[in-house]
Amino acid sequence: MAQIIFDEQPVRLANGLEGEPLDIASADPANFHALISGAAAPETRLNAQLFLPSGQPPPKGWPVVLVVPGSLGVAPSHLYKAELLVPAGIAACVLDPFGRRGVTSTVANQAQYSFAASAWDVVAAAGVLAARADIDAARIGAQGHSRGGSAVLAAACLSEKMHGVPRLHSTYAAYPWCGQQFLRPNVGSTRVRSIIGDRDEWCLAQQVQGYMQAMALLGADATCRIVAGAHHSFDRDTPLELVADASVAPGAPTVYIRDDGVCVHPASGEANADFTERELMLYGIKAGYGRRGAHIGSADGLADVFHGDMMAFWQRMV
């Protein structure tokens, strides 16, 4: 589970493709209410690597997919997405949300920074990409994995709830944690797809299905694929292994978020702008849903299933 920390040097992929380092100005809001209300939040900066197809870009620029990792940070499997996308004529930007925050992993403690901050990372990176002449601002997609999957889904909703937020063309949420969801997940014209295995021990497939259905009922092109026999991170194409310190509570009740970003407690029904993600997660743990240890990895052929589905989705953006 080697983690890759980006710095200001170009990253070279296994196929020889060299990235361009990007500097992303983001922020660390305490929760979604703080973010949506415009409350002051500590600034933070992130590193990313942009990989462009060869040759002259199209007149309006290249379509691009922002790749957002999960709780273990950037892994070789995330860079591999660029190796698949770029030859298909799609630029890839891999985001490192951990390095400059000084975070190494969130598997044991997801509250080191908020999920609202993760969503804003996506928005901030999309804004940087949209400002480039070689990128088509109308064809910016985001692919998130696990915690990153939660981030891209929330970012798609934020364009309908906040003024001036760039709209994502499409989002691909890989085994996203959907334990908190916007009550009205209006994503406008953003196309959404989620994919998750039916043996995932970190995230509940039923919550993912429900979130996609809620988006579809509001008019979105939102779909979900359940992959039989697949565990969490089944796109890594690595043997199944136990992450012993993982703190998970996949069966905990869903926390809903109002349009103003205020969370609703699942048991009391109380809506409180001061609720933090940490205390709501602790509720799920204390209610008996929490446990330590969960598996990641893949069985033979399942990574190919993932990448086939992924590329079929993104090739529709070209």
SS (HEC) of 100-153: HHCCCCCCCCHHHCCHHHHHHHHHHHHHHHHCCCCEEEEEEEEEEECHHHHHHH
User: Which pLDDT score is estimated for 277?
Assistant: 87
User: Which pLDDT score is estimated for 111?
Assistant: 83
Could you give the percent of the chain with pLDDT greater than 90?
A: 92
Distance CA 43, CA 264 (A): 27
Contact 3, 105 (CB under 8 A): yes
Pick from 31, 74, 66: nearest CA to 50: 66
Distance CA 278, CA 294 (A): 20
pLDDT tens digits, one per residue of 293-311? 999 999 989 999 999 999 9
| Coarse DSSP helix, strand, coil percentages of the chain, rounded to the nearest 5 percent | 30, 30, 40
User: Which pLDDT score is estimated for 2?
Assistant: 66
Q: Per-residue pLDDT for 187 more than 70?
A: yes
Distance CA 225, CA 223 (A): 7
Map out the domains of the chain with their CATH numbers.
Answer: 20-315 (3.40.50.1820)
User: Which pLDDT score is estimated for 112?
Assistant: 86
pLDDT tens digits, one per residue of 72-125? 999 999 999 999 999 999 999 999 999 999 999 999 888 889 999 999 999 999
pLDDT tens digits, one per residue of 200-232? 999 999 999 999 999 999 999 999 999 999 999
DSSP 186-197: --TT-EEEEEEE
pLDDT tens digits, one per residue of 20-41? 999 999 999 999 999 999 999 9
Tell me phi and psi for residue 96, to 5 degrees.
-110, 95
pLDDT tens digits, one per residue of 121-147? 999 999 999 999 999 999 999 999 999
List the helix and strand counts (H, then E) for the chain.
7, 14
Query: Can you give the pTM of this predicted structure?
Result: 0.97
Pick from 156, 181, 162, 199: nearest CA to 68: 156
User: Which pLDDT score is estimated for 207?
Assistant: 98
Residue 259 neighbours by CB distance under 10 Å: 14
